[in-house]
Amino acid sequence: MRAYRTAAVVLALTALASMSALAQQVGTATAVNPLSESTPPGAATVPLTVGARIIHKERIHTTPTGSAQLAFLDKSTLSIAPNTSITINDFVYDPNSGKGHMLASLSQGALRFVGGALSHAGEASISTPAAAIGIRGGTVTIYIDRYGVHVIDQFGIVTIHNAKTDILMNRPGFEVTILRWDTPAGQPQRVTLAEVDRLLALLTSKPGEDGGVSGFHGVTITACGVLGARSDNCPNTPWLPTDTGLNIANPIITQGTQQGTVTTIHYR
């Protein structure tokens, strides 16, 4: 009888530990424009609010009028566009050693990821229906439309893998499009000013929105830190949805191409 009780206690403690790990906070919602929603594992869908805990396996969904920014424990950020669904599949981070890994999945819509400690260690990745994307020490924009999955390298090294292709990109301001998991990726193409303009509008709060913080207006939810704060990957001149801002932004995202860039593509 004692053996059975001991086994029951062990199983109970194991279950509690698993539940605790599952519910472990991995980040925080730092800006939210309604309507954005969150679905924790095994729980009901609720509106996402500023300051909300982000946990393992949580699904974030934005409506056509919603957008959000998530800040993670390793100081990485995810900016989420309207009409987007992502899931935080896994996040493990030891701040003492800086080690761990992060995996998120994008099933529809668009996002911008700014890498933190895990990305600098090469341990951050985003899965999509057409490819798995690894980010090392950089910033990447990913969006899905009827033409497939588009991956834009804004800074750092990006790897793209599917059943037909392996790509290593180190070309800021270039984009690769992948139609499906079983099709080869297209050749890298320079991002146009029109696409920069469109993505800036997509990942920027609209006039009158406050990012979920009363008293703020016109808050920009972009790659540059939390609620407009500086980050190492931000340009000195802010990106603005105007002709002047675009003329400044384009050389910033392509400046690395003049310093020796590499794209390696392996087709199967």
More reliable by pLDDT, 51 or 218: 51
pLDDT by residue (tens digit) across 225-260? 333 344 444 433 333 334 444 444 444 433 433 333
pLDDT by residue (tens digit) across 154-204? 989 999 999 999 999 998 999 999 999 999 999 999 999 899 889 888 887
Taken in order of first residue, the domains within the chain and their CATH numbers are 27-267 (2.60.120.1440)
pLDDT given for residue 226 in this prediction: 38
- Determine the Cα–Cα distance for residues 199 and 197; give it in Å rounded to an integer: 6
List CB contacts of 47: < 8 A, sequence separation 6 or more. Answer: 34, 35, 36, 37, 38
More reliable by pLDDT, 66 or 245: 66
- Determine the Cα–Cα distance for residues 201 and 141; give it in Å rounded to an integer: 13
pLDDT of 263 strictly over 80: no
pLDDT given for residue 267 in this prediction: 61
pLDDT of 33 strictly over 60: yes
The model's confidence at residue 207, banded by pLDDT at 50, 70 and 90, is low
pLDDT given for residue 210 in this prediction: 56
Average pLDDT score over residue span 84-113: 93
pLDDT given for residue 211 in this prediction: 60
**Six-digit token pair at 121?**
């260690």
pLDDT by residue (tens digit) across 71-80? 999 999 999 9
The model's confidence at residue 69, banded by pLDDT at 50, 70 and 90, is very high
Per DSSP, helices labelled H in 88-227 are: 117-120, 193-202
218 and 207 in contact (C-beta within 8 Å)?
Answer: yes
94 and 100 in contact (C-beta within 8 Å)?
Answer: yes
